[in-house]
Chains A and B, each alone.
Chain A
Amino acid sequence: MSEARAFKHIGQRTIRPDGFDKVTGKANYGADMSMPGMIWGAILRSPHAHANILSLDTTRAEASPDVLAVATFQDFPSVNDAAAAAGTLKSSLMETAENILAKNKVLYHGQAVAAVAARTEAAATAALALIDVEYEPLTPVLTIDAAIADDAPLLHPTMMTQGLLEPATEPSNIAARMELKKGDIEAGFAEAEVIVERSYNTPTVHQGYIEPHATVVRFDDNGPSTIWCPTQGHFDVRARVAQLLNLELGQLKVVASEIGGGFGGKTTVYLEPVALILSKKSGRPVKMTMTREDVFRASGPASASQSTIKIGAKMDGTITAMQATLHYEAGAFSGSPMGPGCMTVFTPYDVENLYVEGFDVVVNKPKVAAYRAPGAPQSEFAAEMAVNELAAKIGMDPIDLRLKNAAKEGTQTIYGPKLKVVGLEACLEAAKNSDHYRSSLGEHVGRGLAAGFWFNIGGQSSVIINLNPDGTGTILEGSPDIGGSRASMQMMAAEVLGIAPGKLNPIVADTEHVAYNQTTGGSRTTFATGMAVIEAAESVVDQLKSRAAAMWNVTAEQVEYSDGVAANLAGEDRLSLAEICANAEKTGGQISGTANINARGAGPSFAVHICDVKVDPDTGKTDVVRYTAIQDAGKAIHPSYVEGQFQGGAVQGIGWALNEEYVYSAEGVMENAGFLDYRIPLASDLPPIETIIVEVPNSFHPFGVRGVGETGIVPPLAAVGTAVAEAIGMPVTSLPCSPPKVLELLLSKS
């Protein structure tokens, strides 16, 4: 793959093919579907954060003429304890089932306990009162400190910490421990001339997608049952529902509706298995939606964290040792992103001596789900804050300090592989030369800078490209489009086939119409599905060449294809793609290309963000006054959507840093379960988000693509945190930097 390659379509800003439906309201999201005869399901949720279920009696509900079906945990065929892969979070099937409908215990306020179906949404909600549950309330455990205390109430009485140096002898609320190391950490600190050591914490936050979870399900006895839902991975939905309900994969068809945001939070199942049970029992299609309150209380947020970072360095800025202890809240069941958090925390640095220890801790909060680079924002926030403190301590510019220790090609990561060519230094240089970094600061304004890393993944994608007799065509792919990826698929195929992108219609097909595709996540879509699109298009090109050869009576080797035209090397003949397609019937039948791949070689994406904040010294209110997001995209297929990923991740990170947090009562009830008091950034809160796309190509993708979706949420936490610290002249160690906390810091100065 040549860096100097001139692309015809790649890099253009086309109009996305699904855009017309989105701006007119025609696009169908999860709750937009109806089916004939449809009834509604509703869920009964736990009023306690921690309690034993002494009895669950559905007799009155079953007896009611308004209730058409009832579901409880007993409706899951016996669930065996096999691990179910779930993106970057592992989760046992039993725990998944209990999180969908509780078995013997409730472990968070709002946990689903039972469900009913009735003719209207209102009737279903009213019918929940007919289910009788007797609870024995237990003391809730709501923080890491409370969870790991010696006398902590146990969420799971048989939970023995995995990964300890000596096997656990007593159960605890620590599900797992892990350790990663490189070099000799003691020696590293011994060589250091300056040490920075600090502890940080981040709150529970939610992905905050504007579309609540919803599903419409029709159970069919005689063919595949249909599940319609907004999801990042409909094949994964199929797998989990099949496992939970003892069905064969062929007995389920999952249709991915348009999805109103996911960010990792829609890579699991909540309503779908319940709706399927209700549909089977009632004989009717069932619709279920979550209210916004349900979404906050009972769908996976992102882990709260407590981190301690210790960095040792020479006075000239050479970092000799980096150490981290990271605690993550998993919520009610094990499975926080402790692993990726440990793996990413120091990866922007080429340092000899590293030691990371992580803990996965259960608490009485909803089970966490993935959120954009899961685990990395929390751990890299702490590391980047500490690195910035080091820079200040030795009087070195934070970019120069990072350049001096930057991860690059050949850097040995703590988690195993050596990095290939990466773009961190390019991002740091771009930051240094940026307009923003060179600009001066106003009164009460502080500036923060931070780097970020995420691995990105490849994985399985399957694509079919079908051409019509008139040279138009369809791209059937299976990656639910969460950010505009269909436009990129259209462009990549158009680039290979040499025709206008508008001639090809990209479709996200359901699980029956395309082969297995891994979940849209891990920043994999443009990379892996794109790779499959390219391979399928190349297969089409091979067929176009051999059909042209047949028409010219030459061999395929004598045909060249470029820019949408086949040329006879042994003569003057030319045929366009459309002309070849028009003759397809005569040359062997219709033309289509397939690619089923397991993409390897995903390139990591590094980012550097710069943030200026102004803090009102009398109130602690913080306003972001300037923001720049710089990130390596490898090759930006559609620059507008690449910029969009940078900007979206940046603003989610800004919210995480400034105002977002789950507020809990002492009883473990979330007090701000709505968009009024769970405060995500508004248009009026923000300045423009400037972007700089750096392109250090990933040689494993035909066009050089690196995934960009996730890294962008990592740097803002420390960029904002450092900016606030600079503005107020006090260390910041706790997010969010909400006004009461900032004012307290300001007042404590005097």
Chain B
Amino acid sequence: MKAHVSTTINQEPVEFLCDPAETLLKVLRDNLGMTGTKEGCGSGDCGACSVMLDGELVCACLVLGVEAEGARIETVEGVASADHLHVIQEKFLEHAALQCGICTPGLIVATKALLAENPNPTEADARYYLAGNLCRCTGYDKIIKAVMDAAETMRQGEAHE
């Protein structure tokens, strides 16, 4: 018996039907066609499916679709505004902080959460906060440089909102 869920995704009201056993990740990707959130492992070990749920950074593969009832969800699709990229996205491009790009949506969401919680992280802070986002292509070096540069730019108030 499918469950009916009403929730908010990227500030917009959304309704969907889902099997209670389906994860939020499957619901986003297969029911709602929001394929920006990626599946790398399905078991919460890689962070490719990172989304915000009621203000906390979570793996969508470790949340049931039914748990989204009444919640506030933010995905990578909501990070850029209608006419420009978020400064985090710009810095990732500027620093070549992606190669294949599959881990990038999860990292963008996680970085946004990091900088909301800690606008002035050290490099170690950033590396530990983002430890749950696996990348196999870049060796993380340019990712961390992009994160630190984004942090500085945002602190200087040049961030687009």
Binding site for B on A (CB under 8 A): 13, 15-16, 18-20, 22-29, 31-32, 34, 121-122, 207-212, 258-263, 289, 291-292, 482-484, 638, 640-641, 643-644, 647-648, 650-652, 674-676, 680-684, 686, 688-689
7 CB < 8 A contacts A-B:
A210-B48, A211-B38, A261-B136, A289-B39, A648-B138, A675-B41, A682-B140
With A25-B77, A32-B35, A34-B33 already in contact, the answer to whether A647 and B141 are too (CB < 8 A) is yes
Contacts A24-B76, A210-B46 given; does A641 touch B99 at CB 8 Å: yes
A689 lies within 8 A of B77 (CB): no
Docked Cα-Cα span, A34 to B29, in Å, equals 10
B30, B35, B36, B37: residue with the most chain A Cβ atoms closer than 10 Å = B35
Contact with A along B19-44 (1 / 0, CB 8 A): 10100000001100111111111110
- Specify which of A28, A208, A643, A684 is in contact with B35 (CB 8 Å cutoff): A28
Q: How far is the CA of A261 from the CA of B19 in the complex (A)?
A: 31
Distance between Cα atoms of A189 and B132 in the complex (Å): 51
Indicate if the CB atoms of A680 and B134 lie closer than 8 Å: yes
Given A209-B136, A686-B140: A16 and B96 within 8 A (CB)? Answer: yes
User: Is there an interface contact between A23 and B38, defined as CB atoms closer than 8 Å?
Assistant: no
* Separation of A25 and B126 alpha carbons in the complex (Å): 22
Judged by a CB distance under 8 angstroms, whether B80 is at the interface is: yes
Find chain A residues with CB under 8 A from B127 CB.
Answer: 682-684, 686
Give the residues in chain A near B139, CB-CB below 8 Å: 644, 647-648, 650-651, 681, 686, 689
CB < 8 Å: which of A25, A32, A291, A643 contacts B76? Answer: A25
Question: Measured between alpha carbons, how far is A28 from B33 in the docked complex, in Å?
Answer: 12
Question: In the complex the two chains form, what is the Cα distance from A399 to B45 in whole Å?
Answer: 40
Max chain B C-beta neighbours (<10 A), residue from A15, A25, A211, A680: A25
Determine the distance from Cα of A259 to Cα of B137 in the docked complex, in whole angstroms: 12
- Name the one of A31, A32, A258, A683 contacting B130, with C-beta atoms under 8 angstroms: A683
| Residue B159 at the chain A interface, CB threshold 8 Å | no
Contact partner of A674 (CB less than 8 A), chosen from B45, B77, B103, B143, is: B45
* Inter-chain contacts of B92 with A (CB < 8 A): 19, 23
By a CB distance below 8 angstroms, the chain A residues around B42 are 291-292
B60 at the interface (CB under 8 A from A): no
17 other contacts beyond A210-B102, A260-B38, A688-B141, with CB at 8 A cut-off? Answer: A15-B93, A16-B93, A19-B92, A22-B98, A22-B101, A23-B85, A25-B34, A122-B19, A209-B102, A210-B100, A212-B40, A260-B100, A261-B100, A292-B46, A484-B99, A648-B99, A683-B127
Q: Which of B101, B135, B142 contacts A640 (CB 8 A)?
A: B142
**Residue contact B135 to A210, C-beta cutoff 8 Å:** yes
CB distance from A612 to the nearest CB of B (A): 16
B33 surroundings in chain A (CB, below 8 A): 34
Cβ-defined contact, B144 with A24, below 8 A = no
Q: Please state if A652 and B85 are interface contacts (CB–CB under 8 Å).
A: no
- Give the chain A neighbours of B128 by CB distance below 8 A: 683-684
| Docked-complex contact A683 and B143, CB < 8 angstroms | yes
Quote the shortest CB–CB distance from A675 to chain B (angstroms).
4
A556 to B45, CA, bound (A): 62
Give chain B residues whose Cβ lies under 8 Å from the Cβ of A19.
92-93, 98, 101
Residues of chain B within 8 A (CB-CB) of A291 are 42
In the assembled complex, the Cα of A484 lies from the Cα of B103 at a distance in Å of 14
Most buried by A among B29, B45, B89, B128: B45
Complex-state Cα separation, A639 to B137, whole angstroms: 16
In the bound complex, how far is the Cα of B98 from the Cα of A683, in angstroms? 14
Smallest CB separation, A639 vs chain B (Å): 9
Chain A: CB-nearest residue to B95: A640
Name the residue of chain A whose CB is nearest to the CB of B93: A19
Cβ–Cβ < 8 Å partners of B100 in chain A: 209-211, 258-262, 482-483
* Given A23-B89, A483-B100, A211-B36 contact (CB < 8 Å): no
Q: Which residues of B contact A676 (CB under 8 A)?
A: 43, 45
Q: How far is the CB of B59 from chain A (nearest CB, A)?
A: 12
* B67 interface contact, C-beta 8 A: no
Contact in complex: B141, A689 (CB < 8 Å) = yes
Known contacts A19-B93, A28-B35, A644-B99: does B104 contact A683 (CB below 8 Å)?
A: no
Asked if B79 is at the interface (CB within 8 A of a chain A CB), the reply is yes
How far, in angstroms, from A19 to B137 measured CA to CA in the complex? Answer: 15
**In the bound complex, how far is the Cα of B116 from the Cα of A577, in angstroms?**
48
Chain A hits for B43, CB < 8 A? 292, 674-676
Cβ contacts under 8 Å, B14 to chain A: none
Q: Mark B95-124, 1 if CB is under 8 A from A, else 0.
A: 110111111110010000000000000001
**Would A683 and B96 count as touching, CB distance under 8 A?**
no
CB distance from B113 to the nearest CB of A (A): 15
Q: Identify the closest chain A residue to B92 (Cβ).
A: A23
Chain A neighbourhood of B96, CB < 8 A: 13, 16, 484, 638, 640-641, 643-644
Asked whether, in the complex, the Cβ of A652 is within 8 Å of the Cβ of B46, the reply is: no
Which residues from chain A contact B37 at a C-beta distance below 8 Å? 25
A258 closest partner in B (C-beta): B101
Tell me the nearest residue of chain A to B145, going by C-beta: A688
A96 CB → nearest B CB, Å: 25
The closest CB in chain B to the CB of A647 belongs to B139
Known: A26-B36, A652-B136. A684 touches B99 (CB 8 A): no
Residues of B near A207 (CB, < 8 A) are: 136
What residues of chain B lie closer than 8 Å to A682, measured between beta carbons? 127, 131-132, 134, 140
The answer to whether B136 touches A210, judged by C-beta atoms less than 8 angstroms apart, is: yes
Expressed in whole angstroms, the minimum distance between the Cβ of B40 and any Cβ of chain A is 4
For B48, the chain A residues whose CB sits under 8 A away are 210
Give CA–CA (A24, B77) in the complex, Å.
6
Once the chains bind, are B108 and A23 in contact (CB under 8 Å)?
A: yes
CB pair A210–B40 under 8 Å, yes or no, is yes
Contact A651-B142, Cβ < 8 Å, known A32-B35, A211-B40: no
Return the chain A residue nearest B85 by Cβ.
Answer: A23
Among B38, B85, B101, B144, residue most surrounded by chain A Cβ atoms (within 10 Å) = B101
B81 to chain A, nearest CB (A): 11
Closest Cβ neighbor of A33 among chain B residues: B35
CB distance from A150 to the nearest CB of B (A): 41
Residue of B nearest to A640 (CB): B96
Residue of B with least CB distance to A207: B136
A15 touches B94 (CB 8 A): yes
Q: Report chain B residues within 8 Å CB of A212.
A: 39-40
Considering residues A22, A29, A482, A647, which has the most beta carbons from chain B within 10 angstroms of its beta carbon? A22
> Which of B39, B105, B130 is A25 in contact with, Cβ under 8 Å?
B105
- Cβ of B134 and Cβ of A27 under 8 Å apart? no
Taking the nearest CB of chain A, how far is it from the CB of B17, in angstroms?
13
Which 3 A-B residue pairs are closest in the complex by CB-CB distance? A25-B36, A260-B102, A651-B139
How long is the Cα–Cα vector from A427 to B127 in the complex, in angstroms? 30
Residues of chain A within 8 A (CB-CB) of B142 are 640, 643-644, 647
Nearest Cβ in chain A — how far from B82, in angstroms? 12
Residue of B nearest to A260 (CB): B102
Q: Is the CB–CB distance between B35 and A674 below 8 Å?
A: no
A259 and B35 CA atoms in complex are apart in Å by: 14
Within 8 A of A (CB), among B47-106: 48, 75-77, 79-80, 85, 89, 92-96, 98-105
